[in-house]
Amino acid sequence: MFTNTKKVLIISIVIIVLVILAIFMINYNQNTKGTNTAGNVVTSPNFDSISPQSGLSAQSIESGVPVEQTFDKQDATKIIKKSNITMQTDNYDSNLNSIKELINISNANVVKMQENQGSTYDIMKTQSSNLRNVDMTIKISKDEFENFNTELKKIANVVSYYEEAQDISSSYADIEAKIESYKLQEAQLNELIKKATVAKDLLEISNQTQKVIEQRESLQRQKDSYDNQISYSTVTVKLTEVESTEITEKNTFSRIKDTFESSLIQIKEIFINTIMGIVYVIPYLLIVGIITLIVFIIVKLKKK
């Protein structure tokens, strides 16, 4: 026979397991619901709401092309190219002019440019110096992209360079297929409008046609945006003025300072993560404690 203490322990464990399973199932259901994305879904026109008196139905246009149709995806690869380059120079004005000349020669366009009069502080010299920097976002033909970046790297001292090529061929083909499907739906609805004789049917078909047009135009805008990004690559340039582009070894004081700051940051992260972990488990501990207390009281009362 189990003692009262063992009974309380067994019952508590069973209840705790059930509570944990219930919490897990609730979270699972919420995550499952969250994964249902809206997206642009191609739907067939709703012909069921059309009055039978009008003599119009889905069969009246069956001789046309069906709404559900498979479209061949284009073989051409659709690539969006981007690059990001950071440079330093002790000859700021000359290098900035060289970048502008390269932009003109390459028939590129500057879509964004921000030039700043910066200020830096030298801890060893205990004096400040005003240095400039400029950020530029450039659009250039995809055919000139590689050559432009090659020439750009020659202008000043390159600190960092990043290049990205995003393949959107699948998404692009899907959008094209959906656009064509909406065009077919629109053509079918227009045929129904021509044959409609009842005002109610005419209004219903017109509303459906408007929805189809709006969905098609939304996809067309997305396709146009893709076309622009594919045809014109993006180059982001940051040019910073420095007193000297020569690489100097850090002195002992700077190395100690950097190491100390790095240690403080790590300690801060550990402290924050510990606090967050404690806060996260508090609700579960409260639930377990309350359940254990209730079971313990019930067993005590039965014992009396």
- Taking the C-alpha atoms of residue 258 and residue 197, their distance in angstroms, rounded to an integer, is 81
Phi and psi of 301, rounded to 5°?
A: -65, -40
Residue 296 lies in a domain: no
pTM as predicted: 0.53
Q: Which of 200-214, 239-253, 284-298 has the lowest mean pLDDT?
A: 239-253
Check whether residue 120 and residue 12 sit in a common domain. no
Sign, CA dihedral 57-61-63-69, equals: negative
Highest-confidence range of 122-136, 155-169, 237-251, by mean pLDDT? Answer: 155-169
Residue 278 vs residues 23, 54, 121, 269: alpha-carbon distances, Å: 18, 69, 41, 14
Contact residues for 44 (Cβ-Cβ < 8 A; gap 6+): 67, 68, 185
Asked whether the predicted pLDDT for residue 226 surpasses 90, the reply is yes
Residue 99 lies in a domain: yes
What domain range includes position 95?
A: 52-247
Check whether residue 14 and residue 114 sit in a common domain. no
Q: How many other C-beta atoms lie within 10 A of the C-beta of residue 52?
A: 9
Residue 280 lies in a domain: no
Check whether residue 5 and residue 59 sit in a common domain. no
Q: Which of 13-27, 98-112, 225-239 has the lowest mean pLDDT?
A: 13-27
Residue 273 lies in a domain: no
Check whether residue 4 and residue 76 sit in a common domain. no
Check whether residue 114 and residue 223 sit in a common domain. yes
Residue 203 lies in a domain: yes
> Residues 19-40: what's their mean pLDDT?
54
Check whether residue 118 and residue 238 sit in a common domain. yes
Residue 138 lies in a domain: yes
pLDDT at 27: 58
pLDDT in tens, 41-90: 445 555 555 554 444 444 443 333 334 444 444 446 899 999 999 999 99
pLDDT at 248: 46
Check whether residue 115 and residue 8 sit in a common domain. no
pLDDT in tens, 170-220: 999 999 999 999 999 999 999 988 888 888 888 898 899 999 999 999 999
Check whether residue 92 and residue 236 sit in a common domain. yes
Residue 259 vs residues 19, 50, 250, 251, 262: alpha-carbon distances, Å: 46, 76, 12, 13, 5
**Which of 215, 247, 279 is the last residue in one of the domains?**
247
How many domains in the chain? 2
Check whether residue 8 and residue 125 sit in a common domain. no
Check whether residue 24 and residue 63 sit in a common domain. no
Check whether residue 57 and residue 87 sit in a common domain. yes
Asked whether the predicted pLDDT for residue 131 surpasses 60, the reply is yes
* Chain Cα centroid distance, residue 289: 42
Residue 293 lies in a domain: no
Asked whether the predicted pLDDT for residue 230 surpasses 60, the reply is yes
Check whether residue 14 and residue 106 sit in a common domain. no
Residue 181 vs residues 41, 44, 258: alpha-carbon distances, Å: 11, 9, 60
Residue 154 lies in a domain: yes
Confidence band for 228, pLDDT divided at 50, 70 and 90: very high
Nearest to 158 by CA among 58, 104, 88: 88
Highest-confidence range of 32-46, 54-68, 222-236, 238-252, by mean pLDDT? Answer: 222-236
User: Using the 8-state DSSP alphabet, how is residue 250 labeled?
Assistant: P
